[in-house]
Structure 1
Amino acid sequence: MNLEEPAGGIGISGLPMVKTGHMTEIRQMAYQPAGGGSAAVEMMTFDRLREVNDGGTQRADFQVLALIDAGHGSVTVDFLRHPLRRRSAVWVAPGAVHRWDDIAGVDGHIVLFVPTAPVTRATRECVALSDLLTQWSIPDTDWPFVDAARNHLLLEASAPCADRAEELSEILLSALIARLRPPHGDARSTNPTFRRFQSSVEAHFREHHDAGYYARALGYAPRTLSRAVQEATGRTAKAYLVARIVLEAQRLLAHDRLSAAACAAALGFPDASNFSVFFQKATGLRPGAWQATVTV
């Protein structure tokens, strides 16, 4: 990943850290391979991360996969703090707001890649899921295979640029993901009806806030769709959709420090009043009041 240091702090892909008074705004990070190449997969050590990390809050347009070899620390992803410990993994999906809180004693590697980098159907579908667990422990029986897959990817990444074959890195990334077997938030969520709904929500939740739209678009009766979503998540289709919109609103309020009016515009609400009523009904607080309770 190309790391530069513009005025104001360390940025990634030439994007500076922006400060407003005492509040540091979220840093938007775009995928830009080192040297301006077209590689879809890059790797970095925690030593390198410590060199460039200032404790700021980030949102990336690429996948971030960390493998912890030793040490203890923590990372905060979408308002939840997760431990970093030996033989564990962390997965940060594109769009998730995250901050490396405590990594002074952590050893391991971070894999950065674009969502389309995996080459097999199964690993691409895995990467596309929005309910992968953020952090999990890798079983001792799986670790030797995960470690071998990671080391093979590292070896390929260390080859001179002229000798690298991009497809090899993507194949080896797929092997690593397959060996990791990232767990879902719900074991039943392989339901194909739910998966189609989930993908559609990710693509359209900023424009369409009615669960009926997704039923029509996917060709299901509303009850059929809601039943499938409830079986997979324990929530109705409407509740799932509301939760997804609320999460994005919280990201914008807490990290981008947007006003209710700006959030309303970003999330497809007709005006700030409409958005505020929606947010209060879902969280119990008006947007401004909720924003005041959050420290980033």
Structure 2
Amino acid sequence: MDTIPTYALYGEYKDDPGTEWIHGETIQSRSRLHDYVIEPHRHERLFQILHLAGGEADFVQDGQRSRLVAPCIVTLPPMTVHGYTFTPDVEGTVLTLFEHRLGAVLAAAAEIVPTFRAVHAVAMERGSPDARTVSDHVAAIAAELSGRRPGRLGAVEAHLALLLIALHRLQGAAKEAAPNARNRALDHLMRFRRLVDEEFRSHKPVEAYARRLGLTASHLNRLCREHLGETALDVIHGRLALEARRYLTFTSLSAKEVALALAFEDPAYFTRFFKRRTGLTPTGFRALRNGETNP
């Protein structure tokens, strides 16, 4: 069976897209590397905004195909399978951010956050006030991200909040996304991810997370397999392994100390766990990282 690839940014397999919470790039910069074809893929924890300022694109979303003509803007919640075929004259910007930051960015307009749990593709009239508003905020965000001026991430957050509010108004304030089965499933999974991020050190069983979500363990496992391609336990173990890799990369803690920091009672079991997840012992992983960093 074909597997839908899960990326941080398209073509990049990694758990953490960077030290900052938002990334911006032109559509041209990535799409031309792939002959303007972005194959169907998904992002587990990332929310994405694509602003098409010039050119056209075939847009595939969960098997449904549509045509995008500039100017338009697309918003994609995590775990949405999507792809594009752009015309070579494409112009525009892609903004990618951690989904959990939406609540903070829209703290003063929290009631509109649910709007962005569904996919939206909004066409605009060229030269209209709406199109100019969207374009101005996207351009301001891109300029701040490419610079190093004081307070730039605060400025990015302010422009992003205004952009999202503008998009909500374009979609129609009274037309909030319908709570269909797929949206409910993705909402459960995003809440599960957040709980795991908060509590992975406690080594809670799947059943404990499922109860917090109002689900059975088997239901949670089914959702994870269907949308993530792995079990709920794999998600928990993956988060533990990610944190272990961060400790081994960015601190001088020994493998035993990392095991204790992650609440493993037996350092030997931690070593076996880490090797099972990464193919390397903690010592071997650190040596490889040091070799890459200090050739």
Partners of 1:79 and 1:164 lie apart in 2 by 41
The residue aligned with 2:29 is 48
Letter in 2 for 1:169: V
Partners of 1:187 and 1:130 lie apart in 2 by 14
Match of 1:111 among 95, 103, 128: 95
Q: Is the 8 A contact 1:76 1:98 kept in 2?
A: yes
Q: TM-score, normalised by structure 1?
A: 0.52
How much identity, in percent, do the aligned residues show?
Answer: 16
Q: How many residues align?
A: 199
The residue aligned with 1:136 is 122
The residue aligned with 1:120 is 106
Gaps of 5+ in 1: 1-19, 218-244, 257-261, 267-296
* 3-state SS of 1:84 partner: strand
The residue aligned with 2:159 is 172
Match of 1:146 among 117, 131, 134: 134
Partners of 1:183 and 1:247 lie apart in 2 by 32
Partners of 2:63 and 2:223 lie apart in 1 by 10
Partners of 2:138 and 2:55 lie apart in 1 by 18
Q: CA RMSD in A?
A: 4.5
Letter in 2 for 1:136: V
Per-residue CA deviation, residues 139-166 of structure 1 (Å, 9 max, x unaligned), is 5231121121112112211113x74642
Specify whether residues 148 and 125 from structure 1 end up closer, same or farther in structure 2 by C-alpha distance, changes over 3 A only: same
Shift of 1:76: 0.7
Letter in 1 for 2:160: L
The residue aligned with 1:237 is none
Letter in 2 for 1:26: I
Q: Which has the higher helix share?
A: 2
Pairing of 1:74-223 with structure 2 (within 5 A): 74-118=58-102, 119-121=105-107, 125-129=111-115, 132-139=118-125, 140-160=128-148, 163=150, 165-181=152-168, 187=174, 189=176, 202-203=187-188
Gaps of 5+ in 2: 193-205, 215-220, 235-295
Per-residue CA deviation, residues 34-80 of structure 1 (Å, 9 max, x unaligned), is x9752111111111121444533211020111111111111211111
Partners of 2:63 and 2:17 lie apart in 1 by 33
Q: Is the 8 A contact 1:68 1:86 kept in 2?
A: yes
Shift of 1:202: 2.1
Letter in 2 for 1:50: S
